[in-house]
Amino acid sequence: MSDLILTKPLKRGDKKGQVRLIQEWLSLRDEQVAIDGDFGPATEAAVKSFQNGQGLTANGIVDNATFAHLISPMTDVLKPITSTGGETLGELVVAYAKQHLAQHPREVGGQNRGPWVRLYMEGNEGQQWAWCAGFTCFCLKQACELKGVPLPINPSFSCDSLASSAKVNNRFVTKDKAGPGSFFLVRNTATDWTHTGIVIESYAEIFRSIEGNTNDEGSREGYEVCARTRGYKKMDFVKI
């Protein structure tokens, strides 16, 4: 995964290459800079500020040590969670979703753009790459890998495809059978679903979720991973 490997140290005067990646991560780490691929004085100053905050030598050069600190939120979410071996697959999906939520994954540099989007969307980004399903399936893949079991449905970037696979595999269920770790699907019509996420807790009238490409208002085209409380109206579920 190239976003996790620094190909060479970067400094003032460098252009293109991984400069944009550095600028993306600086912005994600609260050192807001223009994401233009030009390692100029503003980017250098932001690197120095970040290095100071991390206890690194503030020389303005992005070497392997500085890069590792920059991308640590992503390397943290990629670590296997601590498991007793007795968890259900759904419980592991929830645990991974919480691990991602703790690092506040979000877009940077434009709609559906940035290293988090590329992680969830297998390197793709841009306006057409809505990433709610990508996030949800990424957590499922991590859980299946840890537990050593096959995927219960075919992963997809498409909510409609997730629904179709769930039906084929007898996992398309009502709220009564959807426990923690299940996927919710926001139904537009009987054959069209527009958003998905992970059920964290379920109750009689509401459920709590962690979902990507949303925001505090619950938009299907938001910008971050966040936790929400939702009702059951126009919801279908995929049992995990």
pLDDT value at residue 218: 56
The predicted-structure confidence for 147-206, as pLDDT tens digits, reads as follows 999 999 999 999 999 999 999 999 999 999 999 999 999 999 999 999 999 999 999 999
Residue 143 CA, distance from chain mean position: 14
Provide the mean pLDDT of the chain: 96
Cα 96 to Cα 106: distance, rounded to the nearest angstrom: 16
Closest Cα partner for 144 from 87, 197, 75, 98?
87
Burial of 49 (C-beta count, 10 Å sphere; 0-12/13-18/19+): middle
Q: What is the CATH number of domain 2-70?
A: 1.10.101.10
Q: Where are the domains of the chain?
A: 2-70, 82-238
Cα 138 to Cα 160: distance, rounded to the nearest angstrom: 17
Q: How confident is the model at residue 25 (pLDDT cuts 50, 70, 90)?
A: very high
**Does pTM surpass 0.75?**
yes
The predicted-structure confidence for 214-225, as pLDDT tens digits, reads as follows 765 655 678 999
Neighbouring CB atoms inside 10 A of 140's CB total: 25
Q: How far is CA 68 from CA 3, 51, 65, 214, in A?
A: 11, 11, 5, 28
Residue 59 CA neighbour count, 13 Å, CB half: 10
CATH of 82-238, one of 1.10.260, 3.90.1720, 1.10.357, 1.10.530: 3.90.1720
